[in-house]
Chains A and B, each alone.
Chain A
Amino acid sequence: MRDRTVLIVDDSQITVRKLAQLLEDLGYKVVGFAQTGMVALERYRELHPDLVTMDITLPDMSGIDVVKQILSENPNALIVMITSHGQEQMVIDSIEAGAKGYVMKPVKPEILKETIEKVFATYRSAS
C-alpha cells in the first residue's frame, strides 16, 4: 500500500514542522505545505494530496473559505481542520463547509492519529 499523502496548511512554520513530524511518525507522507489560503489552493491543485490539514486563521483568507473552494473543485477532498479555536460555532461552520474532522491545538498525537484514521476509514477504502 502506498503512503497516503498530506498537504499541511498553517501560517506558522513551527506548527508546519511539528505537524509534519507527527504525520510522518504516523506513516503519512507530507508532500507539501502552505502558509496562506491562496498558496494552499495552488498547492492542492498541483499535488492532489489524499488529505489536507487546515488551520482556520490564515493571513489572507479564512481556512473555512479555503475548504469550500477546494471542495468546489474536488467534492471528494478530505480535509481535517487543525486549529486553536474551541468555539462550537467554528466547529459547526467547518463541518458544514465540508471538513471531515476537527483537531484542537496544541495537537495531541493520539487525537490526530484517531481523527485521521477515522476520516480515511469513513471516506476511503484502503488504497
Chain B
Amino acid sequence: MKQDNDPNIPDLITDTDLDRFVDQLLHRGKQFLEMEGKISVMDVRPIQGQLDRMELKDLTSILTVEDRLKLIVAFSFDRSLMEAVFKGYTEGVSVAPEEQDILMEETAGDCINIVVGNALEDFQLPGYAFNVSTPIIINEGKSIQRYKQSKLTAGEIRTERGTMIVLCITPGIYYKKTLEIEASE
C-alpha cells in the first residue's frame, strides 16, 4: 500500500462524486442485505445536509480506499440486523457456537469488502487500480466527530431487522483506523 497523501496517487473521489459514491454504496449495500443476508429492506436514503457528528451503532466495519487523501468507508449495523445478516449469509455453512462472535464480525467485514469492491467498478480511472485495505471491526457504539478539514457523507438502509449506516469520510488522513481524529493541520 502506498503512503497516505502521496501525490502520485490520483484522486478517486472528488467532492462532486462523493454523493454518487455513497448512492452506489447504498444501492449495492441493499443488494447485499437482500441477496446474501436474505433481509427485507424497507427504505434507503442519503442523509442530507452537513454532518458534524455521526453516531455509530453496535457493530461497525471500516476500510480505507487508497486515494490521494485517503477515503474511509464505514458500515455500522444494529446488532439485531447483523445477527440476521449473519444467519442468512452463513446458511448451509457449519458454524460452532464458540465461533459465532468472530464469524459475525467476519460477516460485517465481508459485507463492506464486497460492497465497496463492487461499487468501485463505477469509479475507475483508466490504467489505474485503487487498492482497498482489509476491513477492521469496532464492536461498540461510538460518536464520530467531523474534523474541520474533512467531510462526512452518509446514508442509511432501514430493514425489518434494524438499520445499517453507510458513512464516508474524506479526506481520511486526519483519522485513525478506528475513526478517532488524530491529526492537527
Asked if B19 is an interface residue, CB under 8 A from chain A, the answer is no
Checking B89, B117, B127 against A84 with a beta-carbon cut-off of 8 angstroms, the contacting residue is B117
In whole angstroms, what is the CA distance A62 to B129 when docked?
12
B116 contact set on A, CB distance < 8 A: 84
> Nearest chain-A residue to B36 (Cβ)?
A106
Q: Does B153 contact A (CB under 8 A)?
A: no
Q: Is B182 close to A, CB under 8 A?
A: no
B23 within 8 A of A: no
* CB atoms of B114 and A13 under 8 A apart: no
Please classify how large the interface on chain A is, using the bins under 10, 10 to 19, 20 to 34, 35 or more: 20 to 34
Residue A125 at the chain B interface, CB threshold 8 Å: no
Q: Smallest Cβ distance from B50 to chain A, in angstroms?
A: 30
- The answer to whether B132 and A89 have CB atoms under 8 Å apart is no
Determine whether the beta carbon of B129 is less than 8 Å from that of A14. Answer: no
Q: Does A21 contact B (CB under 8 A)?
A: yes
Q: How far does the Cβ of A82 sit from chain B's closest Cβ, in whole Å?
A: 11
Pick the most buried of B92, B109, B113, B127: most chain A CB atoms within 10 A of its CB.
B113
Q: Is B121 an interface residue (CB 8 A)?
A: yes
Residues of B within 8 A of A21 (CB): 92-93
A-B contacts, 15 listed (Cβ < 8 Å): A11-B134, A14-B90, A18-B93, A57-B117, A57-B132, A57-B134, A58-B134, A84-B115, A86-B117, A86-B119, A86-B121, A87-B121, A104-B118, A105-B113, A105-B117
Further 17 A-B residue pairs, CB within 8 A, beyond A86-B120, A87-B130, A106-B35: A14-B103, A17-B90, A17-B93, A18-B93, A57-B117, A57-B131, A57-B132, A57-B133, A62-B131, A83-B117, A85-B120, A86-B117, A87-B129, A88-B121, A89-B124, A93-B129, A105-B114
